[in-house]
Chains A and B, each alone.
Chain A
Amino acid sequence: MSKAMTSSRPDGPLLSVKDLRTYFAMNAGLLKAVDGVTFDLHAGQTLGIVGESGSGKTVLSRSIMRLNLGKNVQTSGQALFQNKDLLGLPLRQMSDIWGQEIAMVFQDPMTSLNPVVKIGRQVSEHVRKHLGVSKKEARGLAIELLKSVRIPEAEVAISAFPHELSGGMRQRVSIAIALACGPKLLFADEPTTALDVTVQHQILNLLGLQQTKRDMAMVLVTHDLGVVAGRTDETIVMYAGKAVEQASTNRIFQNTSHPYTEALLRSIPKTDKPSHTRLAAIAGRPPNLITMPSGCSFSPRCPYAQDRCFEEEPPLITNEDGHTTACWYPVGTVENQAAWDKNLTAGRPSTLAVANGQIIDDVPADTVVGSP
C-alpha cells in the first residue's frame, strides 16, 4: 500500500507540523502532553505515530485537528495544512475543514457512533452540509459509501442503528463516515484497538486500500508497532509527549536507534517461541507528565542509561539517512555497547531485566538489536 517515498514533491507537504506543543493546565501543574513535535506529511503518504498509553499520540492528532475540548488547553507551534496554519484558524473555519478536508476515525466504534441515529444519516449528514447534496442524493451516496467499505446489504444497513451491527462493521461505518467527503487527510486514532484480532487486519487493509485509491494522506496512531509495519511510509515513536525517534518505517525496524523503540519491538510477542515464554515488558512506568524527570524522560527505564542521561536532555539529531533520534547512546553504536556492558557489570535493575529476558529468549544481547 505504501507509495514510493517522494519526500520532495514540488508542491510541498500537505501537512507540516512544527514544534507542536500541547499543555494542559492542571491543579498540580502544567501537564505537557505533547512537547515539541515536528514532521511533514505529503499528499498520499502515510505516517505512523507509535507510543504507549499516555505518550501523547492521541492528543497530538487532536491538537492538529483542534479537537482538544476543554478550556485548560494551551497549544503552541504550527500545523500548516495546505499552507494554512490550523492552530490559528477561527473555529468557524475549522468546521469547514473538519469532515471535508481532514477526517478522523476514532478508536472505539462502540462509542463513536450515536446510538440513537440511523447509520444512513450518520454516514451522509455531513455530506449534505459540506457539499449541499439533496436528501435523496445523500441516501444514494450513503449506500455507495457503505458498499465501498464492504458492508453487506448496504440498502438495509442504512436503516439500522449502530447496536445492530458488530464491532468490525461499526468501524467500517466510521471509516465510511470519514471518507464520505473525500478528505485529503485522514487521522486514524487507534482504529483497531477496540476490535477483535481477526477483524483488525481487515480494517487496516480497508484503510490502506481506500487511502491508496483516493490518494489520501493518512496519520495512523497506534500503540502497536506491528500495525505500522509495512503500512506506513514514515513512523514517529513518541515517549512522554516527545518524538524520540522518527524515520522511514523500514529504517525504524531495521536500524532501530532509540532504546525505547527497541524495547517496544522486543515486547511484540513472537509466534516462533514456545508458549509461556515471558513477554518482554518494559521495566517501570511512563513518567508523570507534570513532574518530568530531568534529562532524558526514558532514562529511568532505559537499560543503557548513564549519568549524562539523567542530567542532560538529548537533542533530536538527524543523521545523513534522514533518521532522527533523541538519545546520547543510540542503539547499534559503540557507545551504546559500552553503556550496556557498564550497566550490566554495575547490576542496574532495568538492564538486568532486559538481560534476563534475553536469557529466557536465548538470544545474545547484541543480536537482538533491530530484529523485530
Chain B
Amino acid sequence: MFGKVFAVKTIRLVATLFAVSLLTFLLVEQLPGDPILAILPPGGLDDLETIERIRKELRLDDPVLTRYFRWVGNALQGDLGKSYITDQPVADAIKDRIPVTMELALLATIIAAVLAIPIGALSAYREGGYFDRAMSTFTTAALSIPGFLAGIFFIWLFTLKFNWLPSTGWNRITEKGILANLQTAILPAGALALAPLAINARLIRADMIGTLKEDYVLSAKAKGLRDRYILMRHALRPSSLTAITVFALQLGGLIGGTVVIETVFALPGLGTRLISGIYQRDVMMIQGITLFIATVYVVVNALVDLLYAALDPRIRRQ
C-alpha cells in the first residue's frame, strides 16, 4: 500500500519536473533577440563568418526539440551547459551562488516559523484581545508591503538611522565566521520573511481557534495542564497542517523571492546571477538556474507531503 503511494508520488514528481524543464526551455527560446549577438565582441555584428562559426559550435541550428533533449540529457548527468558569455559551467555558477540563496531562504523560513507560531497561537488564545488586534494590524501591514520595499525600509532604519548593520554585501561563514555572516544576512532574510510570517501567523491563528473548541482541549484543561502546555503540546500540531501546506509553497517562493531581495541588498546569490544572465541574454545560465529553482520547489513540496504523515498519525495509515 505504502509502496504504491510512494511510486505514484515519484512518477508525478518526475512528470512535473519534465514539464517544468520543457516550459523553461521553450520560454527562454521565445526571448526576443539572438543570443549570439550578445556573445559577439563589440563591433562584430557584421562578421557573418564568426556568427556562423559560433552558431555551429553551439549547435543552435538543430531543431528545438533536439536541442531540448540534448540539454535535458546533459542536465540529468549534472551538466547544465556553459555560460555563453563567461564560459563558466552553469552547474559551477549554481554551486558557487547557492549557499547565499539557501541561507537567506532558510533563515527567512526560521524567522517566519519561529515568530508565526507564538503570534498565531497567542492571537487565537485571546481571540479579539489586544494582542490579537495588534497582530491583525501587523500582519495586514506585512502582507501589503512588498518585500523589496521592506528591505529598503530596513536599510533606512538599521543602516542609515541606527548604523547597526551593513546595508549591502555578504560575509561568507567560511571566511568571516557566523556572526559576521548573520550581520549581512539578517536584514534581507527579515525582509524576505515578512510575508510568509504574516500568512502563517494568520493560518495558525484560524486553525487554532477551531482546535481550541475541540473536546480534547477541554479534557486537557480538566486534567489540570497549564494553558501554555495545552497550546503548544496539544493544540499546535492539529492547527498547523494548513500552515505547513502553505509554507511549502512559500519555501519555493522564497527562493524565487530572493531574486529581488538579493538585488536590493547586492548579495552574490543565485538571484543576482539569474538577473545578470537575463541582462546578458545568457541563455544557458537562465535555463539552468530556472530549472534548478523549479526542481527545489517540486522536491520540497514532495517532502512536505511526508511531513503531514509525521504530524498527523491518522494520515499515516491511509
Q: Which residues of A contact B (CB under 8 A)?
A: 65, 67, 69, 95-100, 103-104, 106, 108, 111-117, 125-126, 129-130, 161, 163, 174, 177
Contact = CB atoms under 8 A, between A and B. Distances in A.
A129 B225 contact: yes
Contacts of A99: 222-225
Contact of B313 (A67, A69, A116): A116
Nearest to B236: A116
Interface string B289-318: 000000000000000000000011110010
Contacts of B216: 111-115
A111 B219 CA distance: 9
A111 B215 contact: yes
List the 8 closest pairs (A to B, CB-CB), nearest first: A99-B224, A98-B224, A99-B223, A126-B223, A111-B215, A114-B216, A161-B313, A112-B219
Contacts of B225: 95, 99, 125-126, 129
B308 to A, nearest CB: 11
28 contacts: A95-B221, A96-B224, A97-B224, A98-B221, A99-B223, A100-B224, A103-B223, A106-B215, A111-B214, A111-B215, A111-B216, A112-B215, A112-B218, A114-B234, A115-B216, A115-B238, A115-B312, A115-B314, A116-B238, A116-B311, A117-B233, A126-B223, A126-B225, A129-B226, A161-B313, A161-B314, A163-B313, A174-B219
A116 B238 CA distance: 7
A98 B223 contact: yes
Interface in B223-253: 223-226, 229, 233-234, 237-238
A182 to B, nearest CB: 13
Contacts, number: 74
A104 to B, nearest CB: 5
Contacts of B234: 114, 117
Contacts of A98: 221-224
A112 B219 CA distance: 6
A115 B312 CA distance: 8
B220 interface: yes
Contacts of B220: 114
Given A98-B223, A106-B215, A129-B224, 7 more contacts: A67-B221, A98-B222, A108-B215, A115-B238, A116-B312, A126-B223, A129-B226
What is the size category of the interface that chain B forms with chain A?
Answer: 20 to 34
A106 B214 CA distance: 12
A116 B237 contact: yes
Contacts of B311: 116
Nearest to B216: A114
A126 B215 contact: no
Interface string B104-137: 0000000000000000000000000000000000
Nearest to B238: A116
Contacts of A163: 313-314, 317
A95 B218 contact: no
Given A100-B224, A126-B224, A115 B313 contact: yes
A117 B219 CA distance: 13
Contacts of B237: 116
A106 B312 contact: no
B273 to A, nearest CB: 43
Contacts of A95: 221, 224-226
A163 B317 CA distance: 10
Nearest to A160: B313
A104 B219 contact: yes
Nearest to A161: B313
